[in-house]
């Protein structure tokens, strides 16, 4: 049975679990020496980075070790959703309805972001909806606790150490209470779920108060998202993706988005709009993305059925393949989140919110 207690030692709050689930404590006991070593490393790095003494003291005042964060890091589930299932979850009716409400609620703010950063309102809304359901998803972890815990665990100590130092510098510069900054167990925060190093690079003051606070200021959050996408090269005159249909025997190895050709080249291979009309014939370069696993499953089922069917039975033909032509903005989204499914969801949600 796990024994839980809080020990205050030298002003440090530690949540101890026996046995501790972490790489650094496989012996089953919390390693106080390692915990202090992590704290000293943070102190030294922060001081060298120019973080104020007051911010260093605030950060080190009472960090807590949170065992559930270690478990979350070790047990990240890989959900094997089909593309259709993923889109049903992410581009839901409620998310579309709420996105339209937010567009009506913040027209001036969205227009200001578009004018300054060249990112249209429906795109900002799509990212906002995907990342935090328009701010409805509240993060519960104190980020300093999350970063100290993950650094102690050791699997990605350098990465999370960099995040904590970046968070300290952000809090210092913007006069934020670092012990009141909450986010996900992995360190993402605010309406658009920026990690600290991303925020330090792309965060901007959107409401003119002289601070960058993407948790409590929707203006700052939207402006920061617009600035990030702008720096990624967002082109407001290009769409993200186009739904298309391919011949049933199309080469599935071309459907991972990595092979790119001009639209006329894809058209010559049989790529058409869902209604059978030709796709645009300009020289724009695009990739193709489809749910290859589902296509392979469907093909296997048809082949198996045909193998056991009577000689005179009608056998279902291979179905046409549904896919997405993926344009340059699609690949800019993947620099935000390197998932084909995520980028397609942003494309569909943003198109719906136009």
146-185 pLDDT per residue, tens: 999 999 999 899 999 999 999 999 999 999 999 999 999 9
Q: Which two tokens stand for residue 108?
A: 């001036």
Question: What is the per-residue pLDDT for 275?
Answer: 95
| pLDDT mean over 73-80 | 73
pLDDT at 45 over 50: yes
Do 245 and 317 fall into the same domain?
yes
Total number of domains constituting the chain: 2
Among the residue ranges 78-87, 183-192, 304-313, the one predicted with the least confidence is: 304-313
Do 60 and 164 fall into the same domain?
yes
Do 42 and 154 fall into the same domain?
yes
Question: What is the per-residue pLDDT for 78?
Answer: 59
pLDDT at 212 over 90: yes
Helix (H) or strand (E) holding 244: strand 241-246
Whether residue 131 lies inside any domain: the answer is no
For 183, the 3-state DSSP assignment is strand
Do 157 and 71 fall into the same domain?
yes
Question: What is the per-residue pLDDT for 6?
Answer: 35
Do 168 and 254 fall into the same domain?
no
Whether residue 89 lies inside any domain: the answer is no
305 Cβ partners below 8 Å, 6+ apart? 315, 316
Maximum distance among all alpha carbons in the chain? 84
Whether residue 320 lies inside any domain: the answer is yes
| pLDDT mean over 44-56 | 98
Question: What is the per-residue pLDDT for 176?
Answer: 95
Between residues 16 and 347, the one the model is more confident about: 347
Q: Which two tokens stand for residue 220?
A: 């700052």
Q: Which candidate, 287, 286, 292, places its Cα nearest to that of 253?
A: 292
The model scores a pTM over 0.85: yes
pLDDT at 312 over 60: no
Do 173 and 245 fall into the same domain?
no
Do 57 and 165 fall into the same domain?
yes
Do 29 and 161 fall into the same domain?
yes
| pLDDT mean over 5-27 | 38
Q: Which candidate, 196, 213, 197, 194, places its Cα nearest to that of 205?
A: 213
293: domain range?
Answer: 241-326
Length of the chain: 354
Whether residue 20 lies inside any domain: the answer is yes
Do 260 and 168 fall into the same domain?
no
Whether residue 102 lies inside any domain: the answer is no
| pLDDT mean over 259-288 | 95
> Where does the pLDDT of residue 314 fall: very low under 50, low under 70, confident under 90, or very high at 90 and above?
low
Whether residue 23 lies inside any domain: the answer is yes
Do 50 and 160 fall into the same domain?
yes
Do 172 and 313 fall into the same domain?
no
Q: How many angstroms separate the CA atoms of 211 and 176, rounded? A: 9
Whether residue 107 lies inside any domain: the answer is no
> Where does the pLDDT of residue 12 fall: very low under 50, low under 70, confident under 90, or very high at 90 and above?
very low
Whether residue 262 lies inside any domain: the answer is yes
Cβ 20 vs Cβ 67: under 8 Å: yes
Do 154 and 260 fall into the same domain?
no
Q: Any idea what the Cα angle at residue 184 is, between residues 172 and 54, rounded to 5°? A: 20
Question: What is the per-residue pLDDT for 61?
Answer: 93
């Amino acid at each position: 049975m796990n024994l839980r207690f809080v020990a205050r030692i030298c002003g440090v709050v530690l949540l101890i679990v026996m046995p501790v689930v972490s790489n650094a404590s496989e012996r089953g006991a919390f390693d106080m020496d390692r915990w202090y070593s992590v704290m000293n490393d943070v102190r030294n790095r922060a001081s060298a980075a120019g973080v104020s003494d007051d911010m260093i003291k605030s950060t080190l005042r009472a960090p807590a070790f949170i065992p559930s964060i270690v478990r979350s890091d070790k047990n990240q589930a890989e959900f094997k959703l089909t593309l259709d299932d993923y889109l049903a979850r992410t581009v839901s009716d409620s998310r579309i309805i709420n996105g339209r409400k937010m567009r009506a609620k913040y027209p001036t703010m969205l227009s200001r972001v578009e004018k300054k950063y060249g990112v249209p309102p429906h795109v900002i809304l799509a990212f906002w909806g995907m990342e935090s359901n328009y701010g409805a998803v509240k993060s519960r972890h104190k980020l300093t606790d999350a970063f100290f815990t993950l650094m102690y665990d050791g699997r990605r100590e350098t990465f999370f150490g960099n995040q904590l130092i970046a968070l300290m510098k952000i809090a210092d510069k913007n006069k934020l209470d670092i012990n009141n900054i909450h986010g996900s167990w992995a360190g993402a925060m605010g309406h658009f779920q920026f990690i600290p190093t991303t925020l330090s690079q792309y965060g901007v003051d959107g409401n003119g108060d002289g601070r960058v606070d993407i948790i409590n200021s929707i203006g700052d959050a939207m402006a920061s998202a617009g600035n990030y996408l702008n720096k990624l090269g967002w082109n407001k005159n290009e769409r993200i993706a186009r739904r298309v249909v391919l011949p049933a025997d199309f080469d599935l190895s071309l459907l991972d988005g990595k092979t790119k050709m001009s639209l006329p080249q894809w058209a010559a291979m049989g790529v058409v709009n869902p209604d059978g009309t030709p796709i645009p014939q300009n020289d724009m370069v695009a990739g193709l993305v489809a749910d290859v696993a589902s296509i392979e499953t469907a093909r296997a089922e048809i082949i198996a059925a045909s193998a056991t069917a009577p000689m005179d039975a009608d056998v279902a033909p291979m179905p046409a393949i549904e896919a997405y032509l993926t344009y340059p903005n699609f690949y800019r989204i993947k620099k935000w989140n390197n998932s084909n499914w995520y980028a397609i969801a942003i494309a569909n949600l943003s198109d719906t919110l136009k």
